[in-house]
Amino acid sequence: MADSRSISERLSKLPPGRHLIPRDFVFQNQRERMLLATAELVAERGYQKTTIELIAKTARVALTTFYEQFASKEECFLAAFDESVEAAGQAFAELLDPERPWVDQVSSGLEVFLEMVVVEPARAKLCLVESQAAGAAALARYQGMLEKVAPKLREGRELNPRTSRLPEGLEVAIAGGLAWLVHQRLVAGRSDELKALLPEMLQVTLTPYVGEADAARAAETAQARAAA
């Protein structure tokens, strides 16, 4: 999931001059550096104040290399967004067991999500904060990301005997509410608080499906697990 190397290590440049490294590898390495640089810069300065020149300089690539791979800053930003969401999706797929009870899956999913935010704050900020400030295409990506969460939450409707009464947009709204909370903590530079909020986040998320008592029990379990 998280890469423990420092940013400078992760941005390490390929050896200069002629070498025998395959062209595809070089292309991919440069791309990864530019996407990582974009995430770091956008998290630090905001989308508006991040320039193509800065991305190229931080990624240690030539300006022409940037334009070989991206037509604009927006295209690069969207690629960084897509790559981050895909990496998160892979982590969820690897770490979550779909055979476990739904409540446990949601609990673990939220825990993994918060862990990702804390370990990769730049990527989290890119996806949850700056995507809402980077134009219509980025905003649509953000909305799409919330919608990706919806099917897993929607499975919980089977646990509510009055499921037909639940609002159609409930799952996207819950995802939006959770994302908003994380957004606020990231903007305030208080992402270190997030893990402690897991029980309450879980309680709000589960209540529409399993009711207050079971949601509270799951929250208590999460709290006890965190304390241990």
Partner 1 sequence: MSPRGTGSDPYEEAVEGLCDHVKAAFDGPRSWHDRVWAGGLAAMRYLREDPARARLLVAEASRGDLDSMRRRDEAVQLLADLLDGARDEHEGPRPLSRCTAEIAAGAVFSTVLAKVASGSVERGEDFLPELVYMATMPYLGARAAEDELAVQPLR
Q: Which is nearer to partner 1, 1 or 166 (CB)?
A: 166
- Which residues of the chain form contacts with partner 1 (CB under 8 A)? 46-48, 132-136, 139, 143, 146, 160, 162, 165-167, 169-170, 172-181, 183-184, 187, 197, 199-201, 203-204, 207-209, 211-213, 216-217, 219-220
Kindly tell me which of 23 and 165 has the beta carbon lying closer to partner 1.
Answer: 165
CA distance 8 to 60: 10
Q: Which of 64, 9, 4 is nearest to 32 (CA)?
A: 9
Q: Which is nearer to partner 1, 28 or 184 (CB)?
A: 184
CB of 205 to partner 1, least distance (A): 8
The CA-based dihedral angle spanning residues 110, 116, 119, 123, taken in that order and rounded to the nearest 10 degrees: -140
Of 53 and 212, the one with the shorter C-beta distance to partner 1 is: 212
Q: Which residues contact 126 (CB under 8 A, 6 or more apart)?
A: 38, 39, 42, 43, 77, 80, 81, 84
Radius of gyration of the chain (CA): 20
Smallest gap from Cβ 220 to partner 1, in A, equals: 7
- Closest contact distance (angstroms) between CB of 70 and partner 1 is 19
Nearest distance from residue 89's CB to partner 1, in Å? 20
Q: Residue 26 CB: number of other CB atoms within 10 A?
A: 13
